[in-house]
Structure 1
């Protein structure tokens, strides 16, 4: 199969292209100036386009059999208009290009942030979305667009990964979480009661989810959570990281209002300096009150999805990679 992969030079895109290039012919959509050093050895075709420029997408889907749409604006800090313009209108332009080129299959990368906080029980794909970030809201709109185009002849599958971690990840909450724990006071205490739930997924398992969706016709018209087999409490995750970094697990629990007051000066200074840190924002402290717990039962039953990485093993391997490559 000849596949157009958008966001191919990104963290997930690079891993996916590596995994699929042996079996499929990859056409990699990248922005001008992107680092394509990992893609070039794979022998993929490069097409320079930008979701922020709909005119650049007019012919991007020509001569392919299917599209894997990973590209997105993703910072958790951007303005609502940028998310709408890139993640929503960019997806609309991509779908138009598919129709014009006669391409009838898309696997769309959404996010569990489209759901928002879940409560303590694992949330399935039928739960009504209630995103709290602009990024999640843009993903809900993207999902709606993809589903609407089913009536125009485009078969879709929607994949919602949870927080992705793994080697070569430098721009995601998991890296911020790990680096903050390893290199700052954040590893000395837990915000909140430590009992809220968080669910990550190793990039290899996300690649598995996309591969299974592409290869199984049963996935058409379906939405799937792709994640670890279970969620962990913050206390459990901090204990894992403490063992990896050779520390004692933090015992101090700081109430969320106190944590917000503590990070406020740092947040203000960062703004004055034109910097931003997800881990040092008042709004981030609120997430320590929330559960993010997702059911993968549908993907397991319908696609045969089975996570290969447990979180303790995956974190240890990821931290080792960061250390060996000078990122910690």
Structure 2
């Protein structure tokens, strides 16, 4: 079938486009900028369009003839990005995608939200019924994007929302790259107890969930946490990362409060200059915000089962970082 993927040149989007092409589908991707493997995607038959999801004409053209729309495009956390951009892309952009998919006669829309809409999990593990408590404006606008889809209730276009945990894998330019870089040095300072839970999801496991969710009747109108089978204390995760690249990582512990103060001070000092601070509150949250979930609902209703375990996933990811000179 013909499938329209927004955010299709990004880390997760490109992995999804590759999978859809491999499964024999025709794919058109819309993204605001080129990605790492655009030439590879084109060679396999993908049509790549560079535009924002706020560009209604571009969205309409890409939606034409699509049976399924996979909406992954988002304004993510970047230094100096005003709140208006998050609102425009994550909320208004989602409304545009949904409206144009409906006009085009698509039968299914799958929306990529985030587990971050639940914020800190007080009594882990959490699930889809955990309180909605976004910790920042990005997470808030992703949830508002979920609410935009309510316009489709009772109509001919089904929608399903996926809330991934921390995505990682080959091609990831984000947080896991920083974890690998630090672990490679053999010394990873741990602020706080190191027992804060973190829930990863390997990118191929997440792609499996997207493919399952696009089936007719699967998860219509529902939201699903999509994570790996296990979550880990962050100290254990760091050790697993070290093992994946054959480094025995020392993880000394330090008090977290000085880091919290430093994060706020650095962010305020750097903001007027538009530069990324070396430490800021969201980065400090990695050491103290609990993210651990049950994935029972996705297993039962979507048939989701993560196939790649943490050791295999981290080994593949580490090999990619090393082979591409990123760590």
- TM-score in same-fold range (> 0.5): yes
* Matched length: 324
Cα distance between partner residues in 2 of 1:30 and 1:188: 35
Equivalent pair of 2:110/2:213 in contact (CA under 8 Å): yes
Deviates more, 1:313-322 or 1:247-256: 247-256
Give secondary structure in 2 for the equivalent of 1:38: helix
Aligned partners of 2:184 and 2:245 also within 8 Å: yes
Please point out which of 164, 168, 192 is paired with 2:167: 164
CA distance in 1, matches of 2:291, 2:78: 16
- Specify the alignment match of 2:14 in structure 1: 14
**TM-score normalized by structure 1?**
0.90
- Cα offset, 1:33, TM superposition: 5.2
Contact 1:60-1:97 at 8 Å conserved across structures: no
Unaligned runs of 5+ in 1: none
Residue of structure 2 equivalent to 1:127: 130
Runs of at least 5 residues in structure 2 that lack an aligned partner in the other structure: none
Matches within 5 A, 1:184-263: 187-215=187-215, 217-261=217-261
Task: List, as ranges, runs of 4+ consecutive aligned residues in structure 1 with deviation greater than 6 Å.
Answer: none
Q: 1:63 to 1:304 in 2, by over 3 A?
A: same
Q: Which residue of 2 aligns with 1:67?
A: 69
CA RMSD of aligned residues (A): 2.4
Match of 2:26 in 1: 25
* 1:41 alignment counterpart: 43
Q: 1:270 to 1:168 in 2, by over 3 A?
A: farther
2:151 maps to what in 1?
Answer: 148
- Cα drift, residue 261 of structure 1: 4.3
Check 1:118–1:32 CA distance in 2 against 1; reply closer, same or farther (3 A cut): closer
Q: CA deviation at 1:262?
A: 5.0
Residue range with higher mean Cα deviation, 9-18 or 122-131: 122-131
Q: How does 1:72-87 map to 2 (within 5 A)?
A: 72-75=74-77, 77=79, 78-87=81-90
Partner of residue 321, structure 1: 320
For the 8 Å contact 1:120–1:197, the answer to whether it is kept is no
Which deviations, in whole Å up to 9, do the C-alpha atoms of 1:49-82 show, x marking residues without a partner?
A: 3124334334331111110111111126433211
**Cα shift at 1:39:** 1.5
Indicate conservation of the 8 Å contact 1:30/1:50, yes or no: yes
Query: Counterparts in 2 of 1:284-303, with a 5 A limit?
Result: 284-303=283-302
